[in-house]
Amino acid sequence: MNKYTHYKNDISQIINTEVDQSDWKLIRKLHLPKKYNEASSEEIKKGIVLDVEATGLSIGHDDVIQLALLPFDYEVTSGRIININKDQAFNGMREPRVPISEEASLITGITNEMVLNKKIDSKSVEAIIENTDLVIAHNAAYDRPMVEQHWDCFKNVSWACTFRSINWLKEGFSSAKLELLGLNYGWFYEGHDAFNDCEACLALLSETLPKRNETVFSVLREYAIKPTYLIKAIDAPYDKRTLLRRKGYRWRPADQLNGKVWWTETDDYIEEINWLNKEIYKRKINIPIKKITALNRYSDSIWE
């Protein structure tokens, strides 16, 4: 529970009713405060929420048109979010190497004319990332490869993802989309703008998971520090694709580095290799394994 909330008004200021609250739900606009909690004597570190808008959804083809960074301070031991440093935030646009697709323009509201001759100063980005303990995105598997194409500072910092680090289904949520998670927690925001999405992601970090009774940020950090392993089912038989998909394997497309392969991330690589040999290849073969930590998770460097 945070000392300060991200709501402008209390429920009692909006609704005056004796109807049981189990029969209705109030959805309020998100108003991110300057701080969620007062600092104590604990060690404090710096985190950053990141979001990008791009010309489309293809990592191998599309390009960044907007980058937003929202720094915050948190206590290491408790995981409590303290200050939200809006005065240190960054929000910039850039002209991409490929035109913005019509679909992307409709979603983001950003047109080719709006980004014409726009540039993002690399030194400004590097200054914000300096001394950052953790970069967080709601879909880091997309955002990290996109920003690493332009700014090397993102390659040398730990990353975490609110989309993949939390088992939202087990927590009772039917969707892991940021807008829908916000609505479930009782707030809405003007989405599809990189900075607004950063604010929403930070608000989500401050929320408490209903089943685990821990904050999203605490569970995310717990996941981030544990090593996992990248397993690639190279040259898997075509007729096994359904079985791989059911097991949780994902397809890496051909337009991405060392793509055209089924892959998964697991914390038990021995069990996974045994399953592949038995169910997919029907024989024992040499399956590549790569250790993943927060420093390389979601990065294209794990595919080199």
Calculate the average pLDDT of the chain: 94
- What pLDDT score does 25 carry? 87
Q: What is the pTM of this model?
A: 0.92
- Are 284 and 277 in contact, with CB atoms under 8 Å apart? yes
> Considering only CA atoms, which of 5, 92, 78, 12 is closest in space to residue 39?
78
Alpha-carbon gap, residue 199 to 280, rounded angstroms: 43
- What pLDDT score does 11 carry? 80
Q: State which amino acid sits at residue 143.
A: D
Residue 20: pLDDT band with limits 50, 70, 90? confident
Residue 208: pLDDT band with limits 50, 70, 90? very high
Which single residue is written with the structure tokens 């021995």? 270
Contacts of 275 (CB under 8 A, 6+ apart): 247
Alpha-carbon gap, residue 222 to 205, rounded angstroms: 13
Residue 9 pLDDT exceeds 90: no
CATH code matching the domain that covers 11-224, chosen among 1.20.1740.10, 3.40.50.620, 3.40.1360.10, 3.30.420.10: 3.30.420.10
Residue 192: pLDDT band with limits 50, 70, 90? confident
Residue 14: pLDDT band with limits 50, 70, 90? confident
Contacts of 80 (CB under 8 A, 6+ apart): 2, 36, 37, 74, 215
Alpha-carbon gap, residue 73 to 291, rounded angstroms: 29
> Considering only CA atoms, which of 199, 195, 172, 177 is closest in space to residue 29?
199
Q: Which of 169-178, 187-196, 285-294 shows the lowest per-residue confidence on average (mean pLDDT)? A: 187-196
Residue 23 pLDDT exceeds 90: no
Which single residue is written with the structure tokens 């927690």? 185
Residue 257 pLDDT exceeds 90: no
Q: What is the pLDDT of residues 67-112, one digit of tens each?
A: 999 999 999 999 999 999 999 999 999 999 999 999 999 999 999 9
Max CA-CA distance within the chain?
68
**Where in the chain are the domains?**
11-224, 228-303
Q: What is the pLDDT of residues 173-190, one digit of tens each?
A: 999 999 999 999 999 998
- What pLDDT score does 255 carry? 84
Which whole number is the average pLDDT over 190-206? 94
Alpha-carbon gap, residue 35 to 241, rounded angstroms: 48
